Structure 1
Amino acid sequence: MGAQQVRGVIARAKGEPVRIETIVVPDPGPGEAVVKVQTCGVCHTDLHYREGGINDDFPFLLGHEAAGIVESVGEGVTEVAPGDFVVLNWRAVCGQCRACRRGRPQYCFDTHNARQRMTLTDGTELSPALGIGAFAEKTLVAAGQCTKVDPAASPAAAGLLGCGVMAGIGAAINTGGVGRGDSVAVIGCGGVGAAAVLGARLAGAGRIVAVDIDDRKLETARGLGATHTVNSRSTDAVEGIRELTGGFGADVVIEAVGRPETYEQAFYARDLAGTVVLVGVPTPEMRIDLPLLDFFGRGGSLKSSWYGDCLPSRDFPMLIDLYLQGRLDLDAFVTETIGLDDVEAAFTRMHQGDVLRSVVVL
């Protein structure tokens, strides 16, 4: 077929508005696939890349919460074939590292991306966001980054499993191990926190307390299964959660902000022997200072959830099946659908808290 030229959203320099440029997508090599992108969600991580918050490997090809159709595959690819409807993931497991060999591929320590690079027309190599780069008509990924799901699913909803929604649902179900009748508190109800509320409901939690400083987000969380809400602008979050859990604190508290202050709230808002799950992403300079005796005396577990501890091959098809059965409202996360040209404006709306997800439809 030969290399193809398509349109893609590029971040050229730190803090500069993104722009649409022509990119070159090579034919897939061994173990690679070219995917015709149908939809891609606008995630906070993409903004993070543009602001230089991840690394300095500009220019970036942004976009990573995507669904699409496999167009072509390279040598040795058996897991997907041209024509398959797939959700893209940023953790293609290696099958060889110590985590994979111990039967824990969800923790794979050597996940991989496509070996070849997509470029600008002048040959400048692009860094694809999270190894995906899907604000583009087509993208090149490792075949293991493509997870085949039921094509009956709406691409706009399905693609969101590629990052934020999976991170939130997985934080509750996989990392937090929420069980039937458990009390759960979720601090921070943006896209990931709202998904954690949905995950807790799916797992059968008895009481789900949503905490945020924005009443609009709390209202959305209620619609997704929160039984109670606390606006922590006006109410102390720890006291609010304790009051709603018989004075004890929640069995599982999910921190979906990634700040020392909110982590401390999560730490003290859980019941004795309860679980704290950190799924919010902190920045390198953040520090936490808590009495070590409180770590010891409260028991329980403190966990970090990376991508919701998901195994895409196991979790994506299962969640899509639940979605198609009407048991998992992924459509609720799609606030608006936009074009490739609207990504910069979508960053502004996301920053202002106006949307759960803007989804680019190609």
Structure 2
Amino acid sequence: MKAVRFYAPGDIRVEEVPIPVPGPGDVVVKNKVTLTCGTDVKTYKRGYRYEPPFGFGHEAAGVVAAVGEGVEDFKVGDRVVAHNSAPCGHCYYCKRGEESMCVDLIQNQFEHGAYSEYQLIPAPIVKMNMFHLPDSMSYKQAALLEPMACSVYGTANCPIEIGDYVVVNGCGPIGLGFVRMCVLRGAHVIACDVSQARLDTAMKLGAVDAVKADEVEDQAQAVKDLTEDKRGVDVAIEATGVPSVWESSMHMVRPGGFVLLFGGLKKGAEVQLDTNLMHYSQLTVKGVFHTTPMYVHSTFEMIKMGQFPEEIFVQHEYSIDETEQAILEHASGAVIKNAIVYQD
């Protein structure tokens, strides 16, 4: 089968590898669709925190091709989507309900990347974070599970009240998920990005205002100017993974405001935080990573309800041999996501 592996920044390769064989509790899925992701773009450009080579891609949906011993809830031919991770359930952090900090968190993409014709889903993910697709759900829609679960979890960590002003900095797929979730919570959402296409999409998802970041001299002030009395937003969400935006997000919130830092930075990156502002304005700054099973399940229910329409999030289709092209187009900002579609 064909599979894509990451070797170095700018160096991903489509290779022929054996079709995986499921062990006890495992499931092998024949992928139908894999979606591009902002994390894929960042990994392609600068690497990741794990040493290469490793598997690539983590948003896919398909059909069960084989099941391992002991699997009872899934059978060959089932239409399914699997999240890319599962916590152990018994470490210190899992027992505290902080599963995204699990010391044995399985992140499946580095061993079995989703840019592949077949993908092995390990037993813990099968048990905890794998779902049957209803007949009405397309593979593209289902493959939105992982990024939207991050947005759902991140939003749940924000103290958003009905009528609050919220700015979302970065309107890639996860940022747009934040836009949608904040709108559903009753917020006045301000979307910020350098891509007009992404800002237009944010407005379709319910954002009230938009700031094109490369057309304003002071982005923080431009955001404040859109709030009542120009006091600043109640919540600022960072979803770019750009150090300067981490820093400027703090300057967009009102005194007593909340800043969520979700966009991961390059390993070793450092930012400067205005300590005077944090102290005297009593700001709360919180980092959030990934998601947890509770929010994966909640997100799947929201996808069933049509809250994340595939026609808004997914634009073009490519073959697995064109994965690099699909990622580069995603990186350009011209699209929200591209789909790698596999032939039968």
TM-score normalized by the length of structure 1: 0.84
Answering whether residue 183 of structure 2 is matched by residue 201 of structure 1, we say: yes
Distance 1:104 1:55, change over 3 A: closer
C-alpha distance after superposition, 1:266-311 (max 9, x if no partner): 1111122221111111112322223423222222421112124563
Partner of residue 322 from structure 1, selected from 288, 292, 305: 305
- Pairwise CA distance, 1:187: 0.8
- Unaligned segments of structure 1, at least 5 residues: 1-5, 114-127
Distance 1:85 1:312, change over 3 A: farther
Note the 1:158-169 alignment, pairs <5 A: 158-162=142-146, 164-169=147-152
For the 8 Å contact 2:22–2:120, the answer to whether it is kept is yes
In structure 2, what is the equivalent of residue 21 of structure 1? 15
In structure 1, what is the equivalent of residue 57 of structure 2? 63
Distance 1:110 1:58, change over 3 A: closer
In structure 2, what is the equivalent of residue 284 of structure 1? 267
Partner of residue 231 from structure 1, selected from 212, 216, 219: 212
- Pairwise CA distance, 1:46: 2.6
Partners of 2:195 and 2:304 in 1: how far apart? 32
In structure 1, what is the equivalent of residue 154 of structure 2? 171
One-letter code aligned to 1:264: E
C-alpha distance after superposition, 1:74-126 (max 9, x if no partner): 2344564444433222221211111222344454332125xxxxxxxxxxxxx
Q: Secondary structure at the match of 1:25?
A: coil
In structure 2, what is the equivalent of residue 187 of structure 1? 169
Answering whether residue 139 of structure 2 is matched by residue 155 of structure 1, we say: yes
Partners of 1:43 and 1:24 in 2: how far apart? 25
Partner of residue 219 from structure 1, selected from 200, 209, 233: 200
For the 8 Å contact 1:26–1:140, the answer to whether it is kept is yes
Partners of 1:154 and 1:300 in 2: how far apart? 42
C-alpha distance after superposition, 1:118-145 (max 9, x if no partner): xxxxxxxxxx734441111111121333
In structure 1, what is the equivalent of residue 232 of structure 2? 249
Distance 1:237 1:340, change over 3 A: same
For the 8 Å contact 1:171–1:309, the answer to whether it is kept is no
One-letter code aligned to 1:216: A
For the 8 Å contact 1:273–1:299, the answer to whether it is kept is yes
Answering whether residue 336 of structure 2 is matched by residue 342 of structure 1, we say: no
Compute the RMSD of aligned alpha carbons: 2.4
Partner of residue 145 from structure 1, selected from 97, 120, 125: 125
Q: Secondary structure at the match of 1:35?
A: strand
- Unaligned segments of structure 2, at least 5 residues: none
Note the 1:81-160 alignment, pairs <5 A: 81-112=75-106, 129-146=109-126, 147-151=130-134, 152-160=136-144
In structure 2, what is the equivalent of residue 267 of structure 1? 250
Answering whether residue 9 of structure 2 is matched by residue 9 of structure 1, we say: no
Percent identical residues: 30
TM-score normalized by the length of structure 2: 0.88
* Greater mean deviation of Cα atoms: 133-142 or 314-323: 314-323
Answering whether residue 281 of structure 2 is matched by residue 298 of structure 1, we say: yes
